[in-house]
């Protein structure tokens, strides 16, 4: 068995004296692991750092075997990311989110979204909002996508302001007013343009509301059912990324 694909390095763990087991998020073959012989060498260690983009060839005798990777660098991001605490926490959290996906299950749209996120992780003005959108994409790929296109009560797409914690659907400001204390806030930057979103740059408060929203559904549908706690890296990323929020 053999294939060639582009991938983002999620991590690598030592195997024997000179090799590593490499974990990639690939464009067409999903999250995939394989043995890299000589992966601990001086030449290969910089290539196999999390966040880097590589071209990989995977070979195995059987389709369900661990197999071997042959890896060549495409784009090195690790050096840039290491200089930012926000980026390092964001990279760790993004990798943890991708590990929620079934191994070897293709998610090309998520792969593309992860590339965009990693490219902007050092930009404190952009990265937090991108992470909120990435968490929404993860929920959708896992089958728990939110419907933010129209009000669940009226069908209108005007003045959407809340999300129902039960249905994951948007609710307008007027329809949700009597139950506002029981609903989750829907920040404007997550409202689709065709459903009343203004496209305005999100404030730190907007982003914090976004993380509260995605965190609720990740906890209800993903983390709790798997016996997981919200990752510490996420908490630290949110704290740094929304430091100006009141």
Q: What is the CATH number of domain 108-241?
A: 1.20.1440
Evaluate if residue 210 carries a pLDDT over 90. yes
Q: pLDDT tens digits, residue range 127-149?
A: 999 999 999 999 999 999 999 99
Two structure tokens written together for 191? 């409202």
Residue whose structure tokens are 């949110």: 238
Q: pLDDT tens digits, residue range 162-182?
A: 999 999 999 999 999 999 999
Question: CATH 1.20.1440 region(s) of the chain?
Answer: 108-241
Residue whose structure tokens are 């071209």: 55
| Mean pLDDT, residues 25-32 taken together | 97
Question: What is the pLDDT confidence band of residue 7, given thresholds at 50, 70 and 90?
Answer: very high
Q: What's the CATH class of domain 2-76?
A: mainly beta
pTM above threshold 0.85: yes
DSSP secondary structure letters along 90-109: HHHHHHHHHTTSPTT---HH
| Mean pLDDT, residues 47-66 taken together | 94
């Amino acid at each position: 068995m053999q294939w060639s694909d582009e991938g983002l390095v999620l991590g690598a763990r030592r195997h024997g004296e000179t090799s590593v087991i490499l974990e990639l998020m690939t464009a067409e073959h999903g999250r995939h692991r394989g043995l890299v012989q000589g992966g601990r060498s001086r030449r290969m260690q910089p290539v196999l750092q999390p966040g880097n983009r590589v071209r990989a060839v995977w070979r195995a005798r059987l389709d369900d075997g661990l197999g071997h990777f042959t890896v060549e660098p495409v784009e090195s991001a690790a050096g840039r990311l290491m200089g930012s605490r926000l980026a390092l926490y964001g990279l760790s959290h993004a990798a943890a989110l991708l590990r929620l996906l079934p191994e070897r299950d293709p998610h090309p749209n998520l792969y593309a979204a992860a590339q965009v996120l990693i490219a902007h992780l050092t930009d404190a003005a952009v990265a937090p909002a991108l992470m909120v959108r990435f968490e929404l994409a993860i929920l959708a790929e896992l089958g728990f996508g939110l419907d933010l296109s129209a009000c669940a009560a009226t069908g209108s797409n005007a003045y959407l302001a809340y999300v129902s914690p039960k249905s994951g659907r948007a609710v307008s400001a007027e329809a949700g007013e009597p139950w506002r204390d029981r609903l989750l806030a829907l920040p404007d930057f997550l409202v689709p343009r065709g459903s009343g979103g203004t496209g305005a740059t999100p404030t730190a408060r907007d982003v914090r509301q976004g993380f509260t929203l995605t965190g609720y559904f990740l906890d209800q549908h993903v983390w709790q059912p798997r016996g997981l706690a919200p990752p510490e890296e996420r908490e630290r990323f949110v704290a740094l990324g929304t430091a100006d929020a009141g």
